[in-house]
Structure 1
């Protein structure tokens, strides 16, 4: 939970092209590459999900640009794709044997990085868990205690989407849900939040999973629309799937008749909102999550106190504010309080 200390608003970076180039140059392209010069105690390693998804591209930007601005050495490694659990763990295992003082981890699942994190925890190095929480039972069994968890309140994000859909369609309308990977904790939380928001107001006629992928969501939504001709809305647990559903709606000739709302706030989703495809996206700012991860490492390495959890900001983006969100992307277009700001200013 958040620290009770006074908080200041986080000011994220708007780096010029030259600075961005330097920041990205500090991001190694292979597990064996050295990070830039500096004492290992102040060097940060980050292992994130696949850069085939724009959400994690923005997260990488938040990590590299914030580290560059702070003069902190960082090495970022990414999984090949959303299903590369073993490859992601192998990258972390390689980095764990190198000279890093703090580790930022964005695991694909709750358990796939646990074995690789065990020697890092045993060495007493801080572990900053971002976006996807490490399974508590597995972490406890391996004697791993992350210094903090940074991420979206996914249930609240789902609730925002549900409230918005309920405001757009008639009471009792038929809706469908497309989740991510079956059993995934993030997807489940978003879906649960959505269900809570529409309970008693809308009728959920079908729920399916599309593995976070646009093309699978397109197929699933096409089948759902065919089987449920009176459907009025879809909720998708991420933007990629939401955009697949938008295409299915378009193919069915029902654009303007079926509402689609998703979660993430990726640039292509924001543009779809502005163009009238998606009705809305609940933006959760991966750039801010990555930025906060670096800042948490700074605080930990300086011996500061971190809250157990740091909630990253979310905002519902619809046609009214899509232009503002696009203009600010990948940074938040609304301010939020950063519980680390006071310690960073010391």
Structure 2
């Protein structure tokens, strides 16, 4: 009995220590370690993380995911950990161009090879930067909204904006500006409110409050997936289907379902290609870690195009969904 208990105790200690070692990123496999870091749990970030993982593992690297959850202190802690624990490279979607610059530079100066996603950083130490052009994406969905206004609305057209300027001001501003530049000069267009809500649950509440305060609005534009889904649900919850429509950002299975929903609320969304962004970012890191020539991407920024998803193009929605499922 004592022997059995001793064996059980030893196994427990081994499992606990093993778990701690693995969690700390110290599992000894003989393969180089790279990390992939995102800042949210939404569909976009999951696909971005999948791109990081697939590129790293297909190259024979040990891959360790991380999520800062929008916390700058956590981002700094992650980078310090990667440096001190001997990670070779990092693919990351930073929290902010301004807030993240110093910690990225410090980590690079200590030998960590870094590739960037979702920002157009042009820094000499980067293995590459891959992103969507947020302004151009906003322009694309703004043109779709402008066409809708011309074809379906007349007189005063009241629009509410739901974005994420307190989370990522540069990106949110670019997206919203691209959208607004396409519709602001149309006759009768008025922007009645501009508020922040990037998580789905919060957006349901914020958009619901907007509808209560401005019951005569015609359009809600949301600058990310959580805001778009939440705004669409808020319109439905308020019984305003047929009166208020939504235009938004990002692509997922749920977004496609909303674009096909007979309630006819969500009209169009501009989908990015986070998986490809993730793959290209990590591939640039891997090249650098392997000592290969990566001068074609080093210190440079590259645009990965988006895809307009429209209610009026069901075949395009089906094709997008099929491709999305293959990447998941």
Deviation for aligned residue 1:249: 0.9
Task: Summarize the Cα distance change of 1:65–1:292 in structure 2 as closer, same or farther, 3 Å threshold.
Answer: same
Name 1:90's counterpart in structure 2: 77
Q: Is the 8 A contact 1:47 1:92 kept in 2?
A: no
Give the number of the structure whose alpha-carbon radius of gyration is greater: 2
Name 2:235's counterpart in structure 1: 249
For residues 1-346 of structure 1, the aligned pairs below 5 Å read 32-34=24-26, 37-38=29-30, 40=32, 43-50=33-40, 52-79=41-68, 81=69, 83-132=70-119, 145-169=125-149, 170=153, 173-182=157-166, 184-201=169-186, 203-275=189-261, 276-301=264-289, 302-307=292-297, 308-319=300-311, 320=313, 321-329=316-324
1: CA distance between counterparts of 2:116 and 2:190?
33
Deviation for aligned residue 1:237: 0.5
- Stretches of structure 1 that go unaligned for 5 or more consecutive residues are 1-27, 333-346
Higher percent of residues as helix: 2
Q: TM-score, normalised by structure 1?
A: 0.76
Q: Is the 8 A contact 1:96 1:119 kept in 2?
A: no
Q: Is the 8 A contact 2:128 2:281 kept in 1?
A: no
2: CA distance between counterparts of 1:300 and 1:162?
39
- Stretches of structure 2 that go unaligned for 5 or more consecutive residues are 1-19
2: CA distance between counterparts of 1:168 and 1:36?
57
* Alignment root-mean-square deviation, CA: 2.6
Of 216-225 and 290-299, deviating more is 216-225
Aligned partner of residue 329 in structure 1, secondary structure: helix
2: CA distance between counterparts of 1:156 and 1:193?
6
2: CA distance between counterparts of 1:299 and 1:181?
34
Q: Can you list the C-alpha shifts for 1:262-288, whole angstroms capped at 9, x where unaligned?
A: 111133212211224421211002111
1: CA distance between counterparts of 2:245 and 2:27?
46
Q: Is the 8 A contact 1:271 1:326 kept in 2?
A: no
Aligned partner of residue 129 in structure 1, secondary structure: strand
2: CA distance between counterparts of 1:29 and 1:61?
23
Task: Summarize the Cα distance change of 1:173–1:30 in structure 2 as closer, same or farther, 3 Å threshold.
Answer: farther
Deviation for aligned residue 1:39: 5.1
1: CA distance between counterparts of 2:49 and 2:317?
23
Aligned residues: 293
2: CA distance between counterparts of 1:327 and 1:76?
26
Q: Can you list the C-alpha shifts for 1:21-79, whole angstroms capped at 9, x where unaligned?
A: xxxxxxx9976123673454xx42222213x3222111111111222233333222112
Aligned partner of residue 35 in structure 2, secondary structure: strand
Q: Can you list the C-alpha shifts for 1:105-155, whole angstroms capped at 9, x where unaligned?
A: 211222444443234321344321111456x8xx8xxxx742321111000
Q: Is the 8 A contact 2:244 2:265 kept in 1?
A: no
Deviation for aligned residue 1:177: 1.0
1: CA distance between counterparts of 2:44 and 2:204?
19
2: CA distance between counterparts of 1:29 and 1:114?
30
Task: Summarize the Cα distance change of 1:330–1:129 in structure 2 as closer, same or farther, 3 Å threshold.
Answer: farther
2: CA distance between counterparts of 1:247 and 1:29?
43
Task: Summarize the Cα distance change of 1:39–1:72 in structure 2 as closer, same or farther, 3 Å threshold.
Answer: closer
